[in-house]
Amino acid sequence: MKVHELSWSIKGTVIIDGIVLHAPHGKITGLLGPNGSGKTTLLRAVARLARADRGAVHLDGSDLARLRRRDLARRLAVVEQHAGTDLDVSVLDVVLLGRTPYRSALQSDSEQDRRLAFEALAQVNMAEFASRRWNTLSGGEKQRVHLARALTQRPALLVLDEPTNHLDIAHALSLLALVQRAGLTTFAALHDLNLAAMYCDHLVVLREGRVVAGGAPHDVLTPELLMDVFDVRADVGRHPETGRPLLTFHPPGVVVPS
Ligand SMILES: Nc1ncnc2c1ncn2[C@@H]1O[C@H](COP(=O)(O)OP(=O)(O)O)[C@@H](O)[C@H]1O
Ligand SMILES: [Mg+2]
C-alpha cells in the first residue's frame, strides 16, 4: 500500500499534511504518534471514511479512490477506534456484516458465510459468544469481534485504529499475534510502543500531521526520537527473546545521575 501526498483539513485547519508512506505487502506497519498527531485522521482518509483534500492511496497498483464502495469493501477492512454499534443484534450478525460486500442485497447468508464468520470468531477466541447480544459485550470483547468481522471480509488491506486499546495484555498480545499470522498488509495505529516494536515490521511516526520518521523498528525507536516526538526519556534495549527493541521509560522529573 502506498500513500502519496495525502492531506485533509477541516474549516481551514490542516490536520494531516502531504503524507507520503508505504506499508509493505503482507506485513504490519505501525502508525505511531502522540495524541492528536493525526493518526485516526490518516487512517480514515486511507480507508475513505474521510475524503482527502488531495493525494492518493494505491493498493496493489490500483487507486482506492477509483473503486466502487463495494469493491473497496472487498479490498479493505477497517476497525475503528470508537467502534460504536448500538444495534440489538447478535455477535454472529456483526461478524456476518463482513460478508456483505460479497452478496447482493436480496441474498441472505450462505453456509460459506456462516462458516467464515465462525472461523473468524474462533480465531479471536470469541466462538462461545456467537449468539450473545452485541450490546452486552465489554469494550475488549467488542474489539475482538470487530477484528473477526474485518477478517471475515477477506481484505487485502487491514486498517486498525488502536486495536488493543481496550484489551488486557494477554489479549493484546494474542490479537497482534493473530494479525501477524493472518499475513495481510496491515496499517495499524498503536499506542503501546513496546507492542509496536514487537509486532510491526515497519513503523511510521506522525507529529502534528506530518510524517517525521519511517523505517524498521530498531531504526525508528531511538532515545532521540522518543524524546523529540513523545517528550519522554527512554532507554532502548533488546528484547531477550525476540531481539526487537525494548523500551524502558523514565519518570518525568527524575534526574538520572550520569
Ligand atoms: N472533525 C474534526 N473537527 C475538528 N478537528 C478535528 C476533527 N478530526 C480531527 N480533528 C483534530 O485533528 C487532530 C488530529 O486528530 P486525530 O487524527 O484524532 O489524532 P490521533 O488519532 O493521532 O490522536 C486533533 O487535534 C483533533 O482535534
Ligand atoms: Mg486516534
CA of 58 to the centre of ligand 1 (A): 24
- Across residues 205-221, what is the average pLDDT? 98
SS (H, E, C) 229-258: HHCCCEEEEECCCCCCEEEEECCCCCCCCC
CA of 15 to the centre of ligand 1 (A): 7
Task: Give all strands (DSSP E) within the chain, no chain letters.
Answer: 2-10, 13-22, 28-32, 54-59, 62-63, 76-79, 157-161, 185-189, 202-207, 210-215, 234-238, 245-249
CB 16, CB 36: distance < 8 Å: no
pLDDT for residue 81: 81
Q: 241: how many CB neighbours lie within 10 A of its CB?
A: 8
Which atom of ligand 1 lies at the shortest distance from residue 33's CA? 22
Query: CA–CA separation, 213 vs 110, rounded Å?
Result: 45
Among the ranges given (43-47, 101-105, 253-257), the one the predictor scored with the smallest mean pLDDT? 253-257
pLDDT for residue 83: 60
Which position has the grid cell 503524507? 19
Rg (CA), the chain: 19
- Please write the tens of the pLDDT for every residue from 124-165: 999 999 999 999 999 889 999 999 999 999 999 999 999 999
Task: Tell me the three cell numbers of residue 228.
Answer: 523529540
Asked whether the predicted pLDDT for residue 8 surpasses 80, the reply is yes
Q: Mind listing the domains of the chain with CATH numbers?
A: 2-249 (3.40.50.300)
Tell me the pairing of strands 62-63 and 13-22: unpaired
H or E element that contains 111: helix 111-123
Confidence of residue 85 (pLDDT cuts 50, 70, 90): low
Query: CA–CA separation, 235 vs 149, rounded Å?
Result: 38
What residues flank ligand 1, with Cβ below 6 Å? 10, 15, 33, 35-41
- Across residues 195-208, what is the average pLDDT? 98
pLDDT for residue 211: 98
Whole-number mean pLDDT of the chain? 94
pLDDT for residue 108: 87
- Across residues 118-123, what is the average pLDDT? 96
Asked whether the predicted pLDDT for residue 105 surpasses 90, the reply is no
- Across residues 73-79, what is the average pLDDT? 96
Q: What percent of the chain has pLDDT over 70?
A: 97
